[in-house]
Structure 1
Amino acid sequence: MTRRVVELGRAARAESGVKIRQPLQRALISAQGWSSLPVEMKEQISDELNVLDLADIADADGDLVDVSIKANFKSLGAKYGKAVQDVAKIIASEDAVSLVKLLRASGVATVGTFEIGLEDLVITEVPKSGWMVASHDGESLALDLALSPELIAAGQIREIIRAIQERRKSDGFEISDRIEVKWNASDSLVETWLAGAQHISAEVLALSMTRDPDISYIEDELEFGFELKKYAD
């Protein structure tokens, strides 16, 4: 399940256009067995998706997505033969959110006198504003796309770290080399950089980090630049 949920999360991020380096506050998951998944596996999912909080989607489906359902005639036809049209009519009259929630919780449901499973439905989920939902084979993940100033700053710091790490590699530094960093950034980014300087330094092994207003920007999107030098004892 861990791998499937991660794949759903990555699909939701890709569809939304939000980079994996941008932390998000929460994701809501709907999958059989989610509630009993070990804490360490949930933490792994949280880390891989760069999402701070994970929770069960079961009680929130209708608030996050517009859900519609119709009969899967191939599956139902194999089960009920000529009665498939009767089953389809009953399914069409059911409350979509309630039926999908029941099936995701228990795996089976009775409509009229017919027992059905998730495979007997074609489920369409259209995310409401502020959420991105990915679904596959009865499992769903919804990403909360709202970005607080704190989340935006955390994402910017990750971008800074990525850029410096890539420069370390391209400049031929050894993994263990300590460095000195001179940097410059746009006014909107300076406060974030200063607030995150200790974390940035720890990640890139910088023993000094000094702002130099003469350094040109090399990252256009965030408007920052830097120079690296191997630290000399």
Structure 2
Amino acid sequence: TLAPDEVIITETPREGWSVASDSGATVALDLEITEELRQAGLARDAIRLIQEARKNSGLDVADRIALRWTATDPAVIAALSEHTPLIADEVLATDFAQGEADDTYGTPFTDEGLSLTFRLRKA
């Protein structure tokens, strides 16, 4: 039999993983960003921008909105199209659609990083 001081245990993380140990516990994270995760992240970025725009527009937290958006980046278009129900729910949009907005919608908000422009109004 081997005594505990006769055994050496080392951790060698798999490529693409990050490993951290503390107090005898080890956690490993897969660092690969899949297309699904990338799209979810873009959707969350859009939610954050829309929430900021709601606040800057003076809307009440409970106000429902209508929103029109356009984007030039195919990845952003795919992400917003795929996650429309989530985004609409998070920002309280009763109408969330891709396309140009008429003048009844407010000032356009643009984020160059996402290549996203949107206009919103109280529903």
What interval of TM-score do these two structures reach, taking the shorter chain for normalisation?
A: 0.7 to 0.9
Counterpart AA for 2:9: A
- With the length of structure 1 as denominator, give the TM-score of the two structures: 0.43
Counterpart AA for 2:87: I
1:143 aligned to which of 3, 17, 29? 29
Instruction: Tell me which of the two structures has the higher relative contact order, counting C-alpha pairs closer than 8 angstroms and 6 or more residues apart.
Output: 2
Alignment size in residue pairs: 114
**1:217 CA drift (Å):** 4.1
- Alpha-carbon distance in 2 for matches of 1:162, 1:197: 14
Q: Which runs of 5+ in 2 are unaligned?
A: 102-107
- With the length of structure 2 as denominator, give the TM-score of the two structures: 0.75
**Match status 1:96 vs 2:6:** no
Q: Which runs of 5+ in 1 are unaligned?
A: 1-86, 98-124
Alignment RMSD: 2.6
Task: Please state whether the residue corresponding to 2:111 is helix, strand or coil.
Answer: coil
If you compute each CA radius of gyration, which structure gives the higher value, 1 or 2? 1
- Alpha-carbon distance in 2 for matches of 1:149, 1:96: 36
Segments ≥4 residues shifted beyond 3 Å: 125-128, 212-217
**1:127 CA drift (Å):** 3.8
Counterpart AA for 2:40: A
Where is the helix percentage greater, Structure 1 or Structure 2?
A: 1
Task: Please state whether the residue corresponding to 1:175 is helix, strand or coil.
Answer: coil
- Alpha-carbon distance in 2 for matches of 1:128, 1:219: 36
Are the aligned partners of 1:130 and 1:145 in contact in 2 as well (CA < 8 Å)?
Answer: yes
**Match status 1:155 vs 2:41:** yes
